[in-house]
Structures are given as C-alpha cells and as structure tokens.
Amino acid sequence: MRWLLLVAIAAILGGVVYQYRAQKKLLAGNAPAAPAPLSTALRSSAEHWHFRDTDLKTGRIKADIDAESMQQVKDVSRVDLTNVAMKIFGQDGKTYDLVKSASASFNTAEKSLYSQGAVEITVNLPMEGLPAKQPTVIRTSGLTCESNTGRVDTDQPSSFVFEKGDGKAIGATYDPANHELLMKREVEVHWNPPGKKAQPMKIEAATLSYHETTSEIWLKPWGRMTRANMTVEGNEVVVKLEEKVIRSITAVRAHGSDDFPNRKLRYAADELAMSFDDDGLAQKINGSKNASLVSTTEAAETTVTADRVDLDFQVDDGESVLTQVAATGNGVVTSKPLAVAGRPLSETHVLRSETLEMKMRPGGREMERVVTKAPGTLEFVPNLPAQHHRLLDGKDFVIAYGPQNRVDSFRAANVRTRTEPNAEERRRNRPVSTTTSRELEARFDPKTSRLGSMQQSGDFAYVEGDRKARAAKATMDADQNVILLDVGARIWDATGSTAADHIRLDQRTGDFLAEGNVSSSRLPDKDQKKNSEMLSGDDPLQATARKMDSRNRNRQIHYEGTVHMWQGANRIEADVVDVDRNLDPRKRTLVADGHVVTNLWEEPQDDKNRDDKKKKAATPVLTEVHAGHLVYAEASRLTHYTGGVQLNRPGLQVKGQELRAFLGEAGAASRLEKAFADGAVEILSTGKDRTRTGTGDHAEYYTADQKVILRGPWVRMVEKLFNSAQPNITEGKEAIYFANNDRLLVTGEPDKPGNSRINRKNGK
C-alpha cells in the first residue's frame, strides 16, 4: 500500500510536469514577438498617450493632452508627442480651446507644450455639440502652450480666421486667463462688419492686442484702417468693439482720408476719435489739438483747422456722407479756388473765428454754409493782379456756398472792412479804404466766385485817405468798383463835403454823383491868391440842388435841379450850374443855365478922406442879374449873361438880350467894375424925385462913377419927374447919364442932331 501511494504521487507529479511542459510548448508557439529594447536615451515610450492636468485644490480639469504616441527622454522632463491634441478648458466649464499639432514636446515639469511645426488653435469651442458660429482658428508654428494657464505664444508667422474676418501677423500670444490676444509684428486683419450693407475693413499695425474683457483692440505704435474709400492711420490706436462690431476708434497723431471720384476728404489731429454704425460706416470723427480737414472738389480746396474739429456723417446708399463740421478754438476755414479751364481764378477766402460750424450739401461733397458763433474775420486773398486784398472783421458770419464750393453770399454783424489797393492802384498812390457798419451782406458771381456786390447798413462809414463818407446804407458794386450811399448820405474830404439822399462814389476815380436834396460845401483853395473870381472869398462855397456830379476830385462839378449856390452873401440860382476849378486858373469857368439869378454884394470902396463913422455907415451894394444863361471865365474876369437879361442895382435896372459883366481885379470880393448890355436894351434909373428910362441897342455901365452909356442907331431917354405929368424926352445916337449927379449928355449925327423935349412945371 505504501508503494502504491508513492507510485500515485509520482504519477501525479509526472502528469503535472508533462502538463506544464506541454502548456509551455503551446504557449511558446503562440507567444507574440518580444518588443525591441528601449533606446538608451529614452526613459519610456507609449502608444495612445494621455495626460490630464488637474487643479489639486478644486479638482477642476485644466487641460487634457492626447497623443498618438509618446516618448520620454531620460533625465529630462520632456515628452515628445505625435499627432497631439490639447484641450484647455475654460474656468466656466462650458468652453475649451483646442490646440492641434503633428508633433510637439510636452514639458511635464512646466506643463507646457511646444510645437516646432504647424499648429492649429481653435478658440472657445463648446463642451458639447457644434459651435453656434464660426470659431476663431489660428494657424502658426513654433508655438508654446501652457496647459496650466492656457497661454500660447509664438514668434512665427501666424494666420487666423474668426467670425468677422481673417488676418495674419508674425508672432502671437494668447492668454485665456486675461482674454488677451497679442499679434507681435506686421499685423493685417480683414474685418467684416455684420451689417447688411457693410463693407470689409482692413486693419494694419505694427502690433495688435485684443482685450476681450474690455472689447478693445490696441494698435501700437501705429495702426491703419482701410474701408472702401476711407483710410485712417495714427499712433496708439484703440478700437472699441460692441458685440464684435467696431464702434469707435481713437488714435494720436492721426490722419485719414475719404476719396470719391469728384471729392477728396483729408483729416488729421494729434488726437482723433471715430465712431461707426453696424455697417462699419463712420458716424462721427472728432479731432483735437492741431485738427484739420481738407475737402477737395474739381473747383476748390477747402481747409478747416482748429484746436478741435468735429465731423458728423449720415448713411446714404451705403456710404458715410459728411453732413456737418464744427471747429472750436482758433478755427480757420480756407477756401482756395482751383484752376478750371475757361474760368479766371477768384480770390482765396479765409474765415477765422473761435467757433465755426459748416453744413454740407446733400451728398456731402460740397459745402452749403459756414456759420461763426463768435467774432471772426473774413479775408479775401488775391490770386490775380487786378484783385484786391480785403479783410472783414465782425461777428455772426453766415457764408452760403453754391455748386462746386463756390461762395454765393455771406452776411455778418458789427463789421469793419479793409480794402488794399491792387498793384495798378498802388502805382497811382491810391490809399487803403475802410468801412464800418452794423450789418453787411455780400453776393458773389456764381460762375467765378468773385465778389459781385456788398451791402452795408446801419451807421455805415467809409474812409479812404482824407476822403470819408457816411450813410444809413451803402452798396458796393465790385465789378464797377462803385459805392452807392443811401439815406442820409454824406461824403467829404479836404476840399469840401456833400450831403444827399443818395450818393454814387466811383472808387477808381474818386468821382461821385449825388441825388436828392443835395447840399454841398467846398472850401477855398489854400494856395489860391485872392482875385476877382465869381463868388470868391474866404468863406466855403455852398450849394444846394436836386443833383450834383463831382469829377476830378471836386474840381469839375455839375449841379442840376433848382440850384442855389452861395459864398458868404453872394448867390447864384439856376436850373443847372457847372463849375470847373481847373488847376490852371486860365481855364476856370462857371456856367449856369435856366432861370439864372446872381446876387453879388460889394462893399463900398475905401475912401481915405472919409472918417471911420462914415465907413461903418456905408451900405453894401447888391447887383442882381436875371438871365437864361451865364458863362463866367476867370481869366478875363468876365461874366456873360444871355437869353434875356435884367441887371438890378440900387436905383438902376438894365435889360437886354445879353449882358457882359466885368469884375474888378482888386480884393477878394466879387466887385462889379462894369457891365455891357446888348440887344433891345432898356435902362431904368430911379432917383429921389425922378426916373429915367433909356432904350437902345447897346448900353455900358461903369460902377466907379455911376456912368451909363446908351448907344444905338437911335437912342431915347425919357425922364419923368414925380411932380410932373409930362415926361422929358431926349433922343440921339448916344446918351451918357451920370447917376451920381443926375447929368445927361446926348449926341447925335451931323445930319441928325440930338433933340430934347423938356416940360417944366412951376418954372422948374
């Protein structure tokens, strides 16, 4: 039995051994090939490698890394991965960023992923389902990604696609913790606004940083934005976003342009701010510090400069249309005409004021009006030799523009103007002229923008050298260079003054025409010697008339319509009077026509034998002449009356068809020396107790000895005594009568002697 037990044990053991060997042989035949031994440089390797980075405090998964294969280098915390995908989870647990690369290295110590080759980053993917909109996808190389923070960085060229466009740059950094994206160099972004009529915008910059929390894009140190015809460029540019739409842009030392076929718009400022609508169209542009705006059309270039310039736009057919411009602080609007074939250049207009507002015409290409809200100046700068340099000071300017930015009209209040002579006028020594008024309105030629007319009202005053003028209203015709003075008009200079209802002044020549209730006063020439000039004396020459035409600086004057002219006590009345005060005394004349009446007063001649009491008691003598026409020549001291004449002196009346009156040479008074009458002459002499009436063809009167000579084929002298009913009649060829001693001499011809018929009463 013991032996059987041993045999059984041996059999069992043998079976076990046999079974083991058989199983071993079977396993040996089915075993896989042994893997190649690890390289001595590797620590480990694996297929389908996975790494998860978890926050030990909160348990939140920060990142997952999956790779097709992994190799880990000995003694270095680096894992080389192929076909790697890295998910960086957002703190809200709803989104993640996905980083893909064909090959990458993962630093297990620093928990950072680096890829030398191509990398694709997709931002803000939903944890579940597909993204609701186009996610942002970045493609680059040489990328470092921190799984702990999710921060990615590269210095290599990068391109990206996002919901509103695409772009590229060299080098980029994205920090999901701060939601900031930095594009390091040579940035170019194509932005597609969401509006239906929006046009893409191109953004260029040296660097670009996107701050998601504040919805801002920073372009530093410079940036440029281009949209269709618009370009804006500046330094330290900040782009403000709302719902992924560009709402505003700010920049320093910035400038921009807006170009259209028939208009170019340029603007610049040290500080520039712009706002946009959903379509990316400009709504406002605000420029501060050295702000400027230049609008160029085919006919003119308009420049606006100020401490601050504000531009307002409105959308019209998918385009930003400039509607209004406001300039504040040292505002200047310069409108410069451009050369156009067939049109002469007009003046350049420069408007200056602390506050300016400019309204544009529909379409935004041309100005409609410019308004000042503070005192200002408007300057006309000549572009042609014949044009005048003008300067207007005033307030409340309103300038209206016509087509092609041509000035149509302007008005202003409390105005002072200054007009400088042009080159040709300076050669003639024409002085500067100035005007003042409460209101001013000017109109321009719509074809040339040249000043056409200018009207000033309210206490108008004019000064040009020693010439001055005033009126309630004045209108200047620039083409004719004429000023029309209306209502209470008055003009004066060193030679005299004229007042009238209306005065027309020719600024080229200094000639003027006065109409309506004319009143003039002319001072005697300072260097003129006292002579026997008609109406001569030291007193001013005064005149009234319905109309007065003055030429050659008041040396040739035409009076018309109920003319009254006087100097001291001497007077001339007529329908028309012409005075020529030629510089050559030999050519000086005075001509009167129609209902002529002259009154010449003469002081009695000095008599050394008379005492002072008798001199004072002597009465001045008046010579009054009525005629149809008068011509006075200073050279001959002769006054020639025609058209039926009547001369009246104390005790003497002379009638005839014409009369020649000679003035004496001595003294300044217009003393009558003698007078010759011709044509149906009648003489009436009145004494204390008698009158004498003489008729003839010719008469001579000498004032010194009161002698009257009457001549003709046959003269007749009739003497009538006051106490006699019958007159005494004397006839002959010549009669000489001495009024001072009542003597009469009559002569006849040899064959026909003179005769007298004397009637005596009471023996007298």
440 found inside a domain:
no
Q: Give the C-alpha separation, 618 to 602, whole Å.
A: 11
Q: Is the pLDDT of residue 530 over 70?
A: no
Give ∠ CA 625-522-511 in degrees, rounded to 5.
110
pLDDT score recorded for residue 2: 30
| Residue at which a domain ends, from 128, 161, 191 | 191
Three-state DSSP state, 14: helix
Residues 6+ apart with CB under 8 A from 379: 349, 350, 351, 352, 389, 390, 391, 392
What per-residue confidence (pLDDT) applies to 658?
96
Mean pLDDT of 2-11: 31
Mean per-residue pLDDT, 606-610 = 52
| Position 483 in a domain | no
Instruction: Look at 135-149, 567-581, 627-641, 737-751 and tell me which has the smallest mean pLDDT.
Output: 737-751
Q: Are strands 652-663 and 245-260 parallel, antiparallel or unpaired?
A: unpaired
Is the pLDDT at 24 greater than 60? The verdict is: no
Question: Which pLDDT does position 432 carry in this prediction?
Answer: 92
The residue with greater pLDDT, 246 or 196, is: 246
pTM above 0.75, yes or no: no
pLDDT surpassing 70 at residue 423 = yes
Whole-Å CA distances, 526 to 146, 510, 557, 583, 669: 105, 21, 19, 13, 17
- Confidence class of residue 761 from pLDDT cuts 50, 70 and 90? very low
Tens digit of each residue's pLDDT (9 = 90 or more) over 311-331: 888 877 777 788 888 999 999
pLDDT at 34: 46
Count other Cβ atoms within 10 Å, centred on residue 520.
24
Query: Is 643 part of any domain?
Result: yes
> Is residue 99 a part of any domain in this protein?
yes
65: in domain: yes
Of 170, 191, 212, the last residue of a domain is: 191
Residue 59: is its pLDDT beyond 50? Answer: yes
Looking at residue 216, its amino acid is E
Q: What gap in Å lies between CA 539 and CA 726, rounded to an integer? A: 50
Range 694-706 average pLDDT: 90
Using DSSP, state whether 22 is helix, strand or coil: helix
- Domain assignment present for residue 274? The answer is no
> What is the Cα 452 distance to its own chain's centre?
15
So what's the pLDDT on residue 610? 52
Cβ–Cβ < 8 Å for 170, 155 = yes
CA atoms within 13 A on the CB side of 447: 4
CA–CA separation, 256 vs 268, rounded Å? 6
Point out the least confidently predicted range of 14-28, 412-426, 628-642: 14-28
What's the CA dihedral at 3, 8, 13, 17 to 10 degrees?
120
Residue 193: partners with Cβ closer than 8 Å, 6 or more residues away? 164, 199, 200, 201, 245, 246, 276, 278, 279, 280
Residue 144 is predicted with a pLDDT of 87
CA-CA-CA-CA torsion sign (264, 267, 272, 275): negative
Assigned domain for 740 exists? yes
Helices (H) and strands (E) in the chain, counts: 3, 41
Q: Which residues contact 481 (CB under 8 A, 6 or more apart)?
A: 506, 507, 508
DSSP 317: S
Residues in the chain: 764
User: In Å, what is the CA distance from 735 to each residue of 448, 741, 743?
Assistant: 78, 15, 10
Tokens 């005769």 belong to residue: 755
Model confidence pLDDT, tens digit, residues 474-507: 998 877 888 899 999 999 888 889 999 999 988 8
- Check: CB of residue 747 under 8 Å from CB of residue 740: no
pLDDT at 563 over 50: yes
What is the per-residue pLDDT for 557? 92
**Tens digits of residue pLDDT in 643-665:** 999 999 888 899 999 999 998 76
The secondary structure element, H or E, covering residue 26 is helix 2-30
The rounded radius of gyration (Å) of the Cα atoms in the chain is: 57
Closest C-alpha among 559, 516, 514 to residue 541: 559
Mean per-residue pLDDT, 266-281: 86
pLDDT band at 532 (very low <50, low <70, confident <90, very high): very low
Is residue 585's pLDDT more than 50? Answer: yes
Q: For strand 556-567 and strand 570-580, is the pairing parallel, antiparallel, or unpaired?
A: antiparallel
Q: Which helix (H) or strand (E) holds 426?
A: helix 423-427
Task: Write out the two tokens for 590.
Answer: 């005075």
Q: What number is the average pLDDT over the span 626-632?
A: 95
pLDDT at 615: 52
Q: Quote the pLDDT of residue 12.
A: 33
Residue 320, CB-side half-sphere exposure with 13 Å CA sphere: 27
Q: What percent of the chain has pLDDT over 70?
A: 85
The confidence score (pLDDT) of residue 45 equals: 66
362-409 residue pLDDT tens: 877 777 888 998 899 999 899 888 888 989 999 999 988 887 677 788
Say if 200 falls within a structural domain: no
Residue 598 has pLDDT above 80, yes or no: yes
For the domain that residue 120 is a member of, what is the CATH number? 2.60.450.10
Local structure of residue 585 (DSSP, 8 states) = G
Q: In one letter, which amino acid is 724?
A: S
Mean pLDDT of 35-55: 67
Say which residue, 53 or 504, is predicted with more confidence: 504
Strands, E assignment, 634-706: 638-649, 652-663, 672-686, 690-702
Q: What pLDDT, on a 0 to 100 scale, did the predictor assign at position 670?
A: 61
CA dist 158 → 88, 205, 216, 239 (Å): 20, 14, 21, 21
DSSP one-letter string for 294-317: EEE-SSEEEEEEEEEEEEEEEESS
Domain end among 137, 168, 191: 191
pLDDT at 517 over 80: yes
Cβ distance 528 to 537 under 8 Å?
no
- Pairing status of strand 112-126 against strand 136-146: antiparallel
Q: Is the pLDDT of residue 263 over 70?
A: yes
Local structure of residue 31 (DSSP, 8 states): P
pLDDT, mean over the chain:
82
Asked whether the predicted pLDDT for residue 284 surpasses 80, the reply is yes
Helix (H, G, I), strand (E, B) or coil at 174: strand
Write the single-letter amino acid at 289.
K
The contacts of residue 34 (CB under 8 Å, 6+ apart) are none
The total number of structural domains in the chain stands at 2
* Structural domain containing residue 163: 40-191
